Structure 1
């Protein structure tokens, strides 16, 4: 396994997913679901999913996520954008599922919280580019550990209300 290629592939979705939380520092945030509920009376996504977080996640994932390619090219800027955008959309899908399962915002839902963003990004990316199966397996193994560590750091920095 080419470790450099592996980390360059997972970096844009990681950056996109992890940077959206910086929107919590903004004074005004706008929920993606406009506070609306579905037939079940529950919010579509909840207050934690905002236009600002979406924009920050996609922008950071597409730019900061692409930077390692300046040293060792493995993906294109378009690839970084696709991986970042679909990672953020995967996280939205996870929030939607959690709301349908009556889980409140911030409730830990392993492995949904840890893998929704990455597996969605990989699924869409694999529609036009090959991802070695060993990369997917390695990502599924290490992502929950990295996710836990970065969420704890965000909690310590007061970017998140929960350490998970």
Structure 2
């Protein structure tokens, strides 16, 4: 394998994961307008199930933002790539579901992260290193693997493609930090982490 082929694997792995990276940021924006909390204010064992930071508007707004981003990416790729692969997404109609599973998986992963943080007694916005940066990654990959195991295997596990997954895991901490600082400076987040 030459360097160009290796860089292509890394690029495609990052490119196709963008629909999973947008939903949590978009959920913050949409969630500001959401009055109905996902846990409806209910508690479990004396602690909120998810907390005030998780609303239905944020959940669906975030997930659908990821899907829209993915459709835009497929449109861009179709201009430059007439092979029908759409730069890693595969056949258009056959893999629009990948966009949905990546996007909804990301917000579900973040929701699981909030659930775990509440069980640990951490308040909304409290630091949880590792969990904060990777809950949506695990959620997106697990949900997508449940419905499209072949796609996940081909894109992130088979042969040198594992490097795309490792690259994602390495850069995600920095990307998460940078996006949170931007959100904090824009007044969308109360904490810069």
Question: Which residue does the alignment assign to 2:80?
Answer: none
1:1-164 paired onto structure 2 within 5 Å: 1=6, 2=8, 3-26=10-33, 28-39=34-45, 41-72=46-77, 73=86, 74-75=88-89, 76-127=95-146, 128=149, 129=151, 130=153, 131-132=156-157, 133-164=162-193
Question: How far apart, CA to CA, are the structure 2 residues paired with 1:100 and 1:142?
Answer: 28
Q: Unpaired segments of 5 or more residues in structure 2? A: 1-5, 78-85, 90-94
TM-score, normalised by the number of residues in structure 1:
0.93
Q: CA deviation at 1:24?
A: 4.2
- The structure richer in helix per residue is 2
Question: Quick check: which has more Rg, 1 or 2?
Answer: 2
When the two chains are superposed, the root-mean-square deviation of aligned CA atoms in Å is 1.4
Q: Unpaired segments of 5 or more residues in structure 1? A: none
Q: How many residues align?
A: 162
CA contact (8 A) 1:24 1:159 kept: no
Q: Residue by residue, what CA displacement relative to the aligned partner does 1:121-164 show, whole Å, maximum 9, x if unpaired?
A: 11222342222322221111100100000011011111111111
Q: Residue by residue, what CA displacement relative to the aligned partner does 1:95-132 show, whole Å, maximum 9, x if unpaired?
A: 00000000000001010000000122112223422223
